[in-house]
Chains A and B, each alone.
Chain A
């Protein structure tokens, strides 16, 4: 069956460092992958989309990579700030719908 795996354990990093979050998937051949941010008690907010023919996408301090051979996407936040603390969800398009991962909670420590 299709599966999206994100590290469900929280990731704690020091302010100023680069945070790297991982999204692995099986039994998908997604045409694209999205990353969303979700704050407690709020709906997800779209951050970035990367297509299967793109290796890397950047937006300000955010960078996403997409390796269809490894079936993995990496999400990087450079120069992290306490305001970046949130849960980050990856979402894949496949089987005629978007499916979300469980998300990884990022805590940036001042």
Chain B
């Protein structure tokens, strides 16, 4: 059974056109993360929510925003996608932070034309 679901799996957008990526979880975990992973690079943490508390990484561009309306769902909004934002976006969850295992979704591959 899928535990962390990401929709869509593939997203194509135009340069500058806002796009929203979706993540949902059936694990009832407190923490939800968004990572950006470019080809042959490490997943890079953009931000995470601990319950409703939002934690932004210092080097995450303002172009990236997130919403978590409830425990199960989290959204990644890219306000004005540039060509450099083309990447795989990974959502992950964990019960807590620290040693708790992160469970990843399958990712959304974003293409910017």
Give residues in A with beta carbon < 8 Å to B.
4, 8, 31-32, 34, 41-46, 49, 51, 89, 93, 96-103
> How long is the Cα–Cα vector from A41 to B44 in the complex, in angstroms?
16
Give residues in B with beta carbon < 8 Å to A.
4, 35, 40-45, 48, 57, 88, 90-92, 97-99, 101-107, 109
Q: Please determine whether B42 and A100 come into contact, CB atoms closer than 8 angstroms.
A: yes
Expressed in whole angstroms, the minimum distance between the Cβ of B96 and any Cβ of chain A is 12
- What chain A residues lie within 8 Å of B48 (beta carbons)? 97
Q: A-B contact count, CB below 8 Å?
A: 53
- What chain B residues lie within 8 Å of A31 (beta carbons)? 98-99
Nearest CB to that of A46 among chain B residues? B101
Q: Please determine whether A102 and B40 come into contact, CB atoms closer than 8 angstroms.
A: yes
Q: Please determine whether B104 and A45 come into contact, CB atoms closer than 8 angstroms.
A: yes
Nearest CB to that of A43 among chain B residues? B104
Interchain CB contact (< 8 A) of B42 among A32, A43, A51, A89: A89
Q: Please determine whether A100 and B99 come into contact, CB atoms closer than 8 angstroms.
A: no
Q: Please determine whether B99 and A42 come into contact, CB atoms closer than 8 angstroms.
A: no
Q: Please determine whether A8 and B99 come into contact, CB atoms closer than 8 angstroms.
A: no
Known: A101-B42, A103-B42. A43 touches B99 (CB 8 A): no
Q: Please determine whether B104 and A44 come into contact, CB atoms closer than 8 angstroms.
A: yes
> How long is the Cα–Cα vector from A49 to B97 in the complex, in angstroms?
14
Known: A32-B99, A49-B101, A93-B99. A42 touches B42 (CB 8 A): no
